[in-house]
Amino acid sequence: MKLIIKRIHTHFYRYSVAFFFILVWPILYYLSRKQRRFKYINRFRRLIIILSTIVSGIFFRISYEEEIDWKRTYIIIGNHTSNLDVSAICIATKSNHCFIGKEELLSNMVLGFFFRTIDITVNRDSKISSFRAFKTAAERLKNNISVVIFPEATIPEEYPPTLYPFKNGAFRLAIELKIPILPVTSPDTWKVLWDTGTEYGSRPGICNIFVHKPVETAHLTLDDADTLRDEVHDIIKKKLGIA
C-alpha cells in the first residue's frame, strides 16, 4: 500500500510539471523563436520547478559554503541520484546556465523543449557526439553561460545509490578555459525521488542541497586534469559522508 501511494505521488508530481509547463508554453514558445531571448527561458524553467515541487510537497533547503559571485561563469559539477538534482541546481544557481544531458531526454515533452533550446544533448556511446557537446559547452562558457555537468554520466543503479567515479571531460574543459568548478552535493534527493521514481515512487519531503566554494583552475595545466577530477570527487564524497 505504501508503494502504491508513493507511485501515485510520482504521477502527481509529473503531471504537475506538465501542467505548469503547458501553462507557460505560449511564453516559452515566444522566447524560443529568437536565440537572443534564450537567456529568459531559464527563469521560466525555474518557475515551473518551484510551482510543481511546492504543490507536490517537495522543498529544497539550499546551503552555501560561502557567498557565490554569480557574475562569474562556472562549470557546475554535481552528484546524480535523482531527477530532482536538476531541479535543485536550477534553484540554487542564480545565473544563466545550461545542462549537458543524454539525447534520450529529447523525447520527453518538458525536458525535450529545454534540450532543443538552451541545453546540450550528448550521445553517450559516441565520441563524436561527446566532442561536439563539449565544443558547444565551451562556446556557452565563453558567452558567460555556466554549464552544469553530472560527471558520473548516469544515475547509479544501486539502491541506496553510491557515488560513481567521475569522467574527466568537464575538468579538462575547466582547465582549458580557466573556468572555476562549482561543486554541488545532493545528499538526499534520492530519498524523496530516486532516479525517475519509476521503481520506488516518490514522496513529499525536504531535499538538502549544499553548494561548495568554487575550485579555481587558473593555475592548472591539462596535466592536472585527473588531480582536479579527484579533488572535486573527494569534496562531494566527503559531504555525502562516504568513507
98's enclosing H/E stretch is strand 97-102
Give me the sign of the Cα torsion angle 92, 96, 97, 98. Answer: positive
CA separation for the pair 82, 190 (Å, rounded): 5
* Domains identified in the chain, total number: 1
Domain membership of residue 215 as a residue range: 2-240
CB 128 within 8 A of CB 114: no
- 243 falls in which pLDDT band (50, 70, 90)? low
The model carries a pTM of 0.96
Helices (H), the chain: 2-32, 41-55, 84-92, 109-117, 127-142, 169-177, 189-192, 225-240
User: pLDDT of 105-163, one tens digit each?
Assistant: 999 999 999 999 999 999 988 989 999 999 999 999 999 999 999 999 999 989 999 99
CA dihedral 82, 84, 86, 89 (to 10 degrees): -120
User: pLDDT of 19-62, one tens digit each?
Assistant: 999 999 999 999 999 999 999 999 999 999 999 999 999 999 99
Give the per-residue pLDDT at 143: 96
CB 76 within 8 A of CB 70: no
Task: Give Cα separations from 234 to 160, 163, 164, 166, 241 (angstroms).
Answer: 19, 10, 11, 10, 10
Q: What is the CATH number of the domain that holds 135?
A: 3.40.1130
Characterize the bridge pairing of strands 205-211 and 181-185: antiparallel
